[in-house]
Structure 1
């Protein structure tokens, strides 16, 4: 459920993603290759379920207009937060920024892979990641008084 919480905007959505994941696991268990890692297979299904959830709810999301505003990052501020604090702050990001941040920073996907998964241009993935990091710095400063490096 931890992966679901990273992608969901609230617990209800996380539970829905979890339910979708287990439905897919049970319906496709016969396709699982015993030579591979079950944990890796389950993780991939979970991420894909989260992305499916985003696509289903895409029409309800508000997307920020894209421009070419890039910010130099200072990641040291985040090292002062607990994992729980950071997950709570990440949950405050707009959906597209939260998904891009999670896929790139946590799951290790490339911008090209993210663009394919989310159906956006690769440059948009970069912009959303930059904006997510900028917003996370602002939120960390507002909620925890952590200097955002500016």
Structure 2
């Protein structure tokens, strides 16, 4: 189960990276076309807008690559405490503490992929099976660490 969730996260990030790279290639072509066909102020404005969009995409790509590298560097071991890479079954749901990707569905299973830097990650960090924490005015019990 943990391996399937890991693979789903990895695939999601790979697709995101690929999509951003494709989009960036399109903007590179657009900048080239803009250079060939435009003159004057309109040219400068169009070119500046394309460069701003490219810059935004480069930032998104860098973040997606950072998350991917973080994900694949996580240990694949079962710990007694909630740590990076832990799949944790709580009384409130299933959480994979890796990177913040949100809800991931694998077969009929739904897990929430969150960072340990997130509020719930901070609340559950280093908890053991059986521990109960209070989070968002609810009691969260750690039922299993996978």
Q: Quick check: TM above 0.5?
A: no
Q: Choose between structure 1 and 2 for higher RCO, CA contacts under 8 A separated by at least 6 residues.
A: 1
Larger gyration radius, structure 1 or structure 2: 2
TM-score (norm 2): 0.32
Bigger strand fraction: 2
